[in-house]
Amino acid sequence: MSSEVGRQFKPNLVLVNQRKAAGWDSRKRAARELHRLGLQHGIRETPAVEAIEKAMYRHETGRLAVTDPIYRQLYCLAYAAKPHDLFGELTGGGEERPHFSVRSHKFVPAFVGVEAAAELRDGAACVPAEGQWYACDAAAVEHPEGECTLYVWPCGSTVFHLVESIEMSSIASLAAWRKVSYGDNIKWAADYLSRALPGISERELYVFGAHWLVEPAWSPGLIEPALRIMATPSVLLHRDRQMDDEHLAHAELIEQSLLSEAYDHGGIESFGIRGISSGYASWSGVVYHPVAPERALTEADLVACELAVQSMWAFTDAITRQIELGTDPEVPSKYGWRYLRGVRSRLTTSRPRETGQHQAMRRAILRTSDLTPALEQAIETLRDTDRG
């Protein structure tokens, strides 16, 4: 796991919005421009493009304050702004608030097909992955924002698993960071996958987030509603509004209101056990807090469950899209309805040594993902078309 944890983790939305206003949707593009400006203006020791890209991520997410004179100069040149406009505090009182720390697990699934999956597996030098619910291969891949592993299933599914350790002063800040970073994560994944699948579109990708709460910042009576908000962070944000200082401040007000009302939602499933853990799953995300770590689920348990669910979600979604186009799904017989029947059994049937906590987690995540009906439809359709 990454050990880097920011002291004041409030996204610098000014930097984010300035970058996008300049037409640089990706940090990689912006990093090239800042590097060019540094050389053009004769700035000594201008960092390499890769170093600038990593620094931009830390600066924009608030993980690291912009104190380095070189970066302050580069940003001011790139955005034609003064230091105070770019690096001033977005909202007051952030230093006084207690902070909570989490490890963010982002899953970026994609269905690429059997041949492209084999090419990706060989290109990344994948090896058999241990501890997974059904056979797949995996390899560590370099990512500018954290520790990333590529998982590849022989049926054609792939999932990038990105882990970042973060610290926040509010759930609203977490929601803002999530909204800002997901777009960058999708662009990065699409760029990586295009090596084996040139025609892949960013519209085909999504990010699913799971948060492992390491240290809470709320009184005991507020931890459960706080976790429920973390499981559905978009409830704090306006869907079509630009993420700026005013929007973040309003989101923090909504957060305080929901906390005081003991926020709950019908689409949230609980899988915690009193005195041992708190866990919630929803369509938007999963959050887990081990109150008694030695008796609670492990991060590996949660990750393996999500990898199984998200990989098959990508596979069945690809089949569903073909069905909705009025065509019979093109799936190799080896990965036809019998293969999916085995997957369904692994996802829905308890293991002999599975604990009640594992059962509760699996059922909650499976129900909120809406994967079961997709599996049923895929199995039925592939059986009708004699696939497998």
Given this model, what pLDDT does residue 192 score?
Answer: 94
pLDDT digits (tens, 9 = 90+) for 244-296: 777 788 888 899 889 989 999 889 999 999 999 999 999 999 999 999 999 99
DSSP 57-77: HHHHHTSS----HHHHHHHHH
Question: For the residues 304-310, what does the mean pLDDT come to?
Answer: 98
Given this model, what pLDDT does residue 4 score?
Answer: 47
Does residue 89 carry a pLDDT above 50?
no
Report the share of the chain in percent with pLDDT over 70. 94
pLDDT digits (tens, 9 = 90+) for 194-225: 988 888 888 889 999 999 999 999 999 999 99
Cβ-contact 181, 146 below 8 angstroms: no
Question: For the residues 50-58, what does the mean pLDDT come to?
Answer: 91
Q: What integer best gives the mean pLDDT of the chain?
A: 90
Res. 353 pLDDT band, cuts 50 70 90? confident
Given this model, what pLDDT does residue 338 score?
Answer: 95
One-letter amino acid for residue 201 of the chain: S
The two tokens of residue 357 are 């906590």
Burial class (CB in 10 A: 0-12, 13-18, 19+), 223: middle
Please report, for the chain, the start and end positions of each structural domain, with discontinuous segments joined by +. Answer: 13-89, 91-388
Does residue 153 carry a pLDDT above 60?
yes
Report the share of the chain in percent with pLDDT over 90. 67
Given this model, what pLDDT does residue 94 score?
Answer: 45
Cβ neighbours of 142 (radius 10 Å): 8
Among the residue ranges 39-48, 64-73, 157-166, the one predicted with the least confidence is 64-73
100: three-class secondary structure by DSSP: strand
Question: For the residues 153-166, what does the mean pLDDT come to?
Answer: 96
- pTM comes to 0.80
Instruction: Please name which of 109, 205, 198, 202 lies closest in space to residue 155, comparing C-alpha atoms.
Output: 109
Cβ-contact 168, 177 below 8 angstroms: yes
Q: How far is CA 324 from the centre of its chain?
A: 28
pLDDT digits (tens, 9 = 90+) for 21-51: 899 989 999 999 999 999 998 888 899 999 9
pLDDT digits (tens, 9 = 90+) for 313-336: 999 999 999 999 999 998 999 999
Top-confidence residue, 183 or 84: 183
Given this model, what pLDDT does residue 270 score?
Answer: 97
- Four-CA torsion 15, 17, 23, 24, nearest 10 degrees: 40
What is the β-pairing status of strands 100-111 and 157-168? antiparallel
Res. 90 pLDDT band, cuts 50 70 90? very low
Cβ-contact 141, 244 below 8 angstroms: no
Given this model, what pLDDT does residue 84 score?
Answer: 66
Instruction: Please name which of 188, 192, 186, 191 lies closest in space to residue 207, comparing C-alpha atoms.
Output: 186
Question: For the residues 355-381, what does the mean pLDDT come to?
Answer: 96
Phi (first) and psi of residue 220, to 5 degrees: -50, -35
Given this model, what pLDDT does residue 7 score?
Answer: 44
